[in-house]
DNA sequence: TCTGGGGTCCTAGGACCC
DNA sequence: TCTGGGGTCCTAGGACCC
């Protein structure tokens, strides 16, 4: 409950984030429907309010909505992650200047912790936060406040959906909380997914309030300890703490669906080499090396009539590495072992596990340490950073990349590439033109 | 024709050890 | 007729998140 004795958690969530980012540089679209597509222009992953009002569903395949989209002149964008990442950084910077205890939870969400008694007027303070973030970044946010992170999530939901909330929602007392929980579907609770929701409903548990009244042992059996933790949080007992430090990565994955089905080993080799090289770069950027390289390939399971195949192969390295050539070599060997001709492949990927910091390696008693020379990779990374991605790349990654994913409607890298900066033009009326 | 990508955590079961 | 107990580590699969 909100009381001066306990801390308050807040969830700040950017509204329709990707669509809002696209609008920043297209003010002409401020009041028209906008959607953003997933990689490969496959699914709709962000919608402006106007697009939601047209009945365009989250995660629905683009091709199924195309008629509706044309009919209402919906603006369509391929996803532009460099842009969204950069805008996200600006949003988080502004928030962190205002509040000391911030957890960046995802590209468009952050939790904050307000110590007891720091803000008397929580709703008023939230309005100030919201207005400041809007003014400094141009991105609209919604704010929910409650006694735990899970309840802050629920409050945020009401901030977005309750028209009278105007983007701010504070849980204010025991009875208020009970009324809210009675109105929340179990499937809408943070941490309860589709499977668990269906299972709970089958057993007569439909609302968050009903779930909080269940027996702990029963909950643990049904939903494991993570589910029990969630229920505790619904009961206003904080169990999920604020994580200010970014935890170390445990795995890195690079995978894509192909723009069109691939059936030759040569094309798959190009793709897998490309993904291995990208994964190696992510390792170096994060100051990490990998010890376990996993390669997987699969056909398109949506095509019921076609023969299906999927397989993966794990390879453990003798010594941790982040060297592009090393990773490509083992990835291609794994690919060769699992490739079967006669299938139309839809997706491939490289997954790295067993990550270790680049600067502390476990040596082995009877083997010489791996060569410590990383200057080649440093040089390649520096050149690509200066002159653009893939200025230098491995030959195995190919140049034609026929299999490359579709990205038909991508907006410019407005904020991260010199050559694509937006240009502002001023025009003066005749009367004030220079003499 | 066209259905995303990148993560984390938990559990059960098997292999193995003394 | 009789056949232990306690533990770790690894992996696959399932569930969740944005």
Q: Is the distance between the Cβ of A249 and the closest atom of strand B smaller than 7 Å?
A: yes
* pLDDT on residue A304: 84
Same domain membership, residue A376 and residue A260: yes
Residues A181 and A196: their CA atoms lie apart, in Å, by 18
Strand C contacted by A153 CB (< 7 A) = yes
B9 C1' closest Cα residue: A226
The residue range of the domain holding A41 is 17-83
CATH of the domain at A40: 3.40.1170.60
The reply to whether A71 falls in a domain is yes
Cβ A108 to strand C below 7 Å: yes
| pLDDT tens for each residue of A391-428 | 999 999 988 888 888 888 889 989 988 888 888 888 87
Residue with minimal CA–C1' distance to B2 is: A63
Q: Which nucleotide is nearest to A354 (CA to C1')?
A: C10
CA distance A201 to A194: 11
Same domain flag for A65 and A103: no
Distance A135 CA to B6 C1' (A): 31
CATH number of the domain at A186, please.
3.30.70.270
Q: Which residue is nearest to nucleotide B3 (CA to C1')?
A: A61
pLDDT average, residue stretch A185-191: 97
Q: Return the higher-pLDDT residue of A369 and A43.
A: A43
- Cβ of A300 near strand B (distance < 7 A): yes
A172 with A208, same domain: the answer is yes
Q: For residue A374, tell me if it sits in a domain.
A: yes
CATH of the domain at A332: 3.30.1490.100
Model confidence, pTM = 0.92
Residue A420 lies in a domain: no
Question: Does pLDDT of A433 surpass 60?
Answer: no
Q: Summarize the confidence of residues A31-38 as an average pLDDT.
A: 96
Better-predicted residue by pLDDT, A423 or A271: A271
pLDDT digits (tens, 9 = 90+) for A123-157: 999 999 999 999 999 999 999 999 999 999 999 99
Q: Are residues A220 and A328 in the same domain?
A: no
- In the structure, how far is the CA atom of residue A357 from the C1' atom of nucleotide B17, in angstroms? 30
Q: How far is CA A111 from the centre of its chain?
A: 16
A59-107 confidence digits (pLDDT tens): 999 999 999 999 999 999 999 999 999 999 999 999 999 999 999 999 9
In a domain, A59, yes or no: yes
Count Cβ neighbours within 10 Å for each residue of A329-357 and write b for 16 or more, e otherwise: bbbbebbeeebeeebbbbbbbbbbeebbe
Residue A359 inside a domain? The answer is yes
Residues in chain A: 435
The answer to whether position A432 is within a domain reads no
A118 and A183 share one domain? yes
**Shortest-distance nucleotide from A107 CA to C1':** C18
Q: At what angle do helices A265-285 and A375-387 cross, to 10 degrees?
A: 100
How many domains does chain A contain in total? 3
Q: In sequence order, what DSSP letters do the residues of A126-141 get, joined into one string?
A: HHHHHHHHHHHHS--E
**Domain check: are A272 and A386 in the same one?**
yes
How far is the C-alpha of A286 from the C-alpha of A358, rounded, in Å? 9
Element (H, E) at A386: helix A375-387
């Amino acid at each position: 409950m909100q009381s001066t004795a306990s801390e308050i958690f807040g969830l700040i969530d950017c509204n329709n984030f990707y669509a809002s980012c696209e609008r920043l540089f297209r003010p002409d679209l401020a009041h028209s429907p906008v959607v953003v597509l997933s990689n490969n222009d496959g699914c709709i992953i962000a919608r402006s309010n106007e697009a939601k009002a047209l009945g365009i569903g989250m995660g629905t395949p683009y091709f199924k909505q195309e008629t509706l989209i044309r009919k209402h002149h919906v603006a369509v964008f391929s996803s532009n992650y460099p842009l969204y990442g950069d805008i996200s950084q600006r949003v988080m910077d502004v928030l962190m200047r205002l509040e000391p205890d911030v957890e960046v939870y995802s590209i468009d969400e952050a939790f904050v912790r307000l110590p007891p008694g720091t803000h008397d007027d929580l709703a008023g303070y939230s309005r100030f936060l919201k207005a400041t973030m809007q003014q400094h970044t141009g991105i609209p946010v919604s704010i929910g406040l409650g006694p735990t992170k899970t309840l802050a999530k629920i409050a945020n939901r009401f901030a977005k959906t309750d028209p009278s909330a105007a983007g701010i929602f504070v849980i204010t007392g025991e009875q208020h909380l009970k009324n809210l929980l009675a109105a929340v579907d179990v499937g809408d609770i943070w941490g309860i997914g589709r499977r668990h929701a269906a299972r709970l409903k089958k057993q007569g548990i439909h609302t968050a309030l009903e779930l909080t009244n269940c027996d702990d042992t029963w909950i643990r059996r049904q939903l494991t300890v993570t589910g029990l933790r969630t229920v505790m949080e619904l009961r206003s007992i904080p169990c999920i703490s604020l994580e200010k430090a970014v935890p170390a990565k445990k795995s890195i994955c690079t995978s894509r669906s192909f723009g069109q089905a691939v059936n030759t080993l040569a094309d798959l080799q190009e793709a897998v080499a490309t993904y291995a090289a990208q994964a190696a770069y992510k390792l170096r950027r994060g100051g990490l090396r990998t010890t376990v390289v996993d390669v997987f390939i699969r056909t398109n399971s949506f095509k019921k009539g076609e023969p299906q195949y999927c397989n993966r192969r794990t390879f453990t390295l003798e010594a941790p590495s982040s060297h592009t050539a090393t990773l490509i070599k083992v990835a291609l060997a794994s690919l060769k072992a699992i490739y079967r001709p006669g299938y139309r492949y839809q997706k491939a990927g490289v997954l790295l596990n067993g990550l270790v910091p680049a600067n502390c390696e476990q040596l082995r008693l009877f083997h010489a340490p791996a060569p410590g020379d990383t200057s080649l990779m440093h040089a390649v990374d520096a050149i690509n950073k200066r002159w653009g991605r893939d200025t230098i790349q491995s030959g195995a990654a190919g140049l034609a990349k026929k299999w490359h994913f579709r990205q038909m409607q991508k907006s410019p890298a407005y904020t991260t590439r010199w050559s694509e900066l937006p240009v502002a033009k001023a025009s003066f009326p005749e009367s004030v033109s220079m003499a």
